[in-house]
Every structure is written in structure tokens, then in C-alpha cells.
């Protein structure tokens, strides 16, 4: 099994690549798969002057919830890239539905390749994608190559608050941003109330779809049960060991 598939499964909280073909069905009722669009919208409104010429790159855009909402609010140009063809098809239909089809381009692709080709964006977004681009240091470096000097970077990830997490601490994140030539402009941490509301809604919808899949494929019941368990574990971890955060960073001018 390829590394890309393993990381894809992990980015969607699946413990096995065997679940990949079923993910579109399990996530059928959800549009937002990770980042909270309103957090990114509010950070942009507060800090960035956006015009019709502003170019945004949404890497691993999922079903396009962030991209479509940004295009709608700011009338900016957005390119979204995701490896799941079903998600990209859904994102395109949402852009049409919201009247921003002409502002949005959605393509199927591996973001490991896209970061080598996409350049000079004003804003790049990596929302809830985990380690698909490598370690935090590699991720930040690769994202930095896609934006112009003084361009902006959003990273939605998490920092460790407890001892037993594989996530960097807040201090470690800030150090690596600084070393990568990025200034921290602002950050929004997820509140317990928001986390609870999102988790409860998502879990309930996913559970319904998992039960339908179990009825259709009884021999695979264990992988669907496992998915529900992993989702719950991730929510528990977010509530205790780690804090979800959206960082807004700006690339310094080279000296
Ligand atoms: C948790 S979802 C987040 C989606 C979106 N950024 C959001 O916040 O709604 C993670 C996304 O990463 C995508 N993904 C994982 N590996 C990828 C890769 N190598 N290239 C492109 N997309 C990838 C998955 O298909 C999935 O849509």
C-alpha cells in the first residue's frame, strides 16, 4: 500500500486504507470535513485586503467548504486540490449552487505534487490535513514555496497540551514558523462548545451511514465499527491532549 494512500486514510481518521472506497459514503452528509470556514473568513476579514485579483490555493480542499465560502464572501479566485475525485465533484457542484463557479477551480490531484508546481499565491490554506506533506517543518517549507513574499498561510492543525501527543507544543510550532521566515499574525483555537457541537453532529451523521454500510457489507462490519471508534478517539484527544488551532502566518520579505 502506498504512503500516499496511508496518509490519505489517516487524514480522514481511518485506521486502514481498506476504508478509502467507503469514505465518500461515510461522509456523504457532511460538507465541512475539517476546518471551520467561518474562522478563516473572520481572520481574512480582520487582517487581509482581498480583491478580485487575490489568488487563493486550498490544498487538500476536501468538499470545498472553505474554498466556496471564501469565493462567495470575498469574490476572490480559489483553486482547490484534493485527491478524492468524489469530493472534487461535490465541491464543483457546491460552487455552482452558491453562484461562484467562475471564481473556483477544483481539480483532482496529490498535493505533494501540487506544492512543486503551484507558485505566487496570495494565500495558501492547509486545513486539517495532518502529515500529508511530511513533518511540520517540511509542511511549512513546502507551503511557503507556493506563496509570494508577504503572502499569507493558513494552517489548521493542533498543538499538544498534554505530555503524550505526537503533535508539537505551541512553543515548538511558533519556533518553527519563525525559523521558516513566517510571522504569526493571528490564531484562533477551537472552543470546547464548538468542538462538542461539531463532533456530536458529525458523529451522528457518520454513525447512520456506517450502519447502512454494515447492512450492505456485513463481512466488513469491523472496518466500519473501527472508523466510528477512531472518530471518537480523535474527539477525545482534541478535548484533552491537544488543542485545535487555525494559525494565520505571513511570509517575510527576503532580506
Ligand atoms: C480532514 S479532510 C480536510 C478537508 C478540507 N481541507 C477541510 O478542512 O474541509 C483531509 C483531506 O485531505 C485530502 N488528502 C489526503 N491526502 C491527500 C493528498 N496526497 N493530496 C490531496 N488531498 C489529500 C483528503 O482527501 C481529505 O479531503
153-176 pLDDT, tens per residue? 999 999 998 777 789 999 999 999
**pLDDT at residue 254, as a whole number:** 80
162 Cα–ligand 1 center, Å: 26
For 189, the 3-state DSSP assignment is strand
**Nearest CA, atom 12, ligand 1:** 60
- Taking CA atoms only, the protein residue closest to ligand 1 atom 15 is 8
| pLDDT, tens digit (0-9, with 9 covering 90-100), for 180-201 | 999 999 999 988 888 888 989 9
Residue 1 has pLDDT above 60, yes or no: no
Q: From the CA of 58, how far away is ligand 1's center (Å)?
A: 10
pLDDT, one tens digit per residue, over 110-163 is: 999 999 999 999 999 999 999 999 999 999 999 999 999 999 999 999 999 877
Cβ-proximal residues to 1 (8 Å cutoff; 6+ apart), any chain: 17
Specify the pLDDT at position 240: 82
β-bridge partners, 157:
245
- pTM for the structure as a whole: 0.96
Please tell me the total number of residues recorded for the chain in this structure: 255
| 6 φ, ψ (degrees, to nearest 5) | -65, -40
Q: Which residue intervals of the chain are DSSP H helices?
A: 3-11, 23-26, 37-47, 65-74, 85-97, 111-117, 136-144, 170-179, 192-216, 221-240
- Give the pLDDT score at 195: 86
Amino acid at each position: 500500500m502506498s504512503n500516499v494512500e496511508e496518509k490519505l486514510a489517516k487524514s480522514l481518521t481511518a485506521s486502514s486504507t481498506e476504508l478509502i472506497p467507503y469514505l465518500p459514503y461515510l461522509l456523504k452528509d457532511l460538507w465541512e470535513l475539517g476546518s471551520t470556514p467561518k474562522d478563516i473568513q473572520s481572520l481574512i476579514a480582520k487582517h487581509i485586503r482581498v480583491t478580485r485579483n487575490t489568488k487563493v490555493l486550498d490544498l487538500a480542499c476536501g468538499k470545498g467548504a472553505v474554498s466556496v465560502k471564501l469565493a462567495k464572501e470575498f469574490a476572490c479566485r480559489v483553486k482547490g486540490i484534493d485527491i478524492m475525485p468524489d469530493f472534487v465533484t461535490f465541491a464543483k457542484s457546491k460552487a455552482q449552487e452558491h453562484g461562484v463557479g467562475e471564481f473556483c477551480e477544483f481539480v483532482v490531484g496529490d498535493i505533494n505534487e501540487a506544492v512543486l508546481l503551484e507558485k505566487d499565491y496570495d494565500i495558501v490554506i492547509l486545513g486539517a490535513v495532518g502529515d500529508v506533506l511530511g513533518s511540520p517543518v517540511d509542511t511549512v517549507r513546502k507551503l511557503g514555496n507556493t506563496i509570494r513574499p508577504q503572502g499569507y498561510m493558513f494552517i489548521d492543525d493542533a498543538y499538544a497540551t498534554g505530555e503524550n501527543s505526537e503533535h508539537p507544543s505551541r512553543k515548538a510550532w511558533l519556533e518553527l514558523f519563525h525559523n521558516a521566515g513566517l510571522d504569526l499574525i493571528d490564531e484562533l483555537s477551537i472552543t470546547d462548545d464548538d468542538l462538542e457541537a461539531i463532533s456530536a453532529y458529525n458523529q451522528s451523521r457518520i454513525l447512520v451511514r456506517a450502519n447502512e454500510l454494515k447492512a450492505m457489507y456485513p463481512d466488513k462490519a469491523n472496518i466500519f465499527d473501527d472508523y466510528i471508534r477512531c472518530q471518537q478517539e480523535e474527539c477525545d484527544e482534541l478535548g484533552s491532549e491537544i488543542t485545535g488551532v487555525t494559525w494565520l502566518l505571513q511570509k517575510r520579505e527576503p532580506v
